[in-house]
Amino acid sequence: MAKASVAFLGLGIMGSGMANRLLGAGFPLTVYNRNAEKAQPLAAAGAKIAATPRAAAAGADFVISMLADDVAARAVWLGAEGALAGAKPGTVLIECSTVSQDWVKELAAAAKQENCPLLDAPVTGTKPHAASGELTFLVGGEAAVLEKARPVLAVMSKAILHVGPNGTSVLLKLLNNFLCAVHAVSFAEALALIENSPLDRAQALDFLLNGNPGSPIVKTMAARMTERTYVPNFSMKLMAKDLGYSIALGKSHSVNLAMVERASEVMQQAIASGLGEKDFSAVAEYVRKK
């Protein structure tokens, strides 16, 4: 049986790995990226390159986007040359970007008008997980639509979690990200204190990382911060964007996210110092110099 055709929009750090997984699994793939040069490796492997999101979506059974933020997502999905204008009725739309709940609601309403079901499906994992098909998808939308999309999502993932209706997956993803950010900032401060104290750094870190504070994210941050290697698996500017969405979401639910606001403030300062394109663990370099 022929596999469903997929349009993939956005070939950044995560999107390129995800699109490669689809192509490797034999899905007919059309890709769109604002910078067309990033699509060339996929084209060499058999993907079609579309000049616009609308052209990419035309005739596709599934349209997937993996973009930086609300602004980028809106530009790709909506408008005369947007993917929604090219999608035929019944096409399953899958928004994998980490975006705001407000945008998901807006896209869901627009998709409904075109008779296209929407899944909001942000992922957890970084560049290596995207390349190896070991992402976790957090999915909001109708269960029946998820079942239809499951074969597509499965080749990119190790797990698929149905969270609830549209918008719920975004809430869970932002919770995940802001907890990671708060851990990163607090560990950066702990590391700076260790390095400016009489403590033996190796001994102190061994105690902390093998004790109660030694969560997976803290261990990851410790390795990057001590080795001072900040190749972006998840850039600081994107994490800062997610913290902004999280703070707004907290306000909409009458919850004051004080620790998130502090982490956001530190990361914004780190970005202003020139660290925005580096991995978010590079916040340690800003804290060290304060």
Q: Which of 112, 127, 158, 173 is catalytic?
A: 173
Measure Cα distances from 239 to 13, 32, 61, 279 in Å: 14, 24, 31, 9
End-to-end CA distance of the chain: 60
What torsion, rounded to 10 degrees, do the Cα atoms 26, 136, 226, 212 define? -150
Give the distance from CA 273 to its chain's centroid: 24
- Under DSSP, the state recorded for 211 is S
CB 90 within 8 A of CB 116: yes
- The 3-state DSSP class for residue 136 equals strand
Backbone dihedral angles phi then psi of residue 60, each to the nearest 5 degrees: -75, 150
Backbone dihedral angles phi then psi of residue 248, each to the nearest 5 degrees: -65, -40
- 112 noted as active-site residue: no
What percent of the chain is helix, strand and coil (3-state, nearest 5)?
Answer: 55, 15, 30
- Residues 6+ positions from 114 with CB-CB distance below 8 Å: 84, 87, 89
CB 21 within 8 A of CB 133: yes
Q: Residue 15 and residue 47: Cα distance in Å, rounded?
A: 14
- Residues 6+ positions from 98 with CB-CB distance below 8 Å: 122, 170, 173, 174, 177, 238, 241, 242, 245
> Which residues are marked as active site?
173
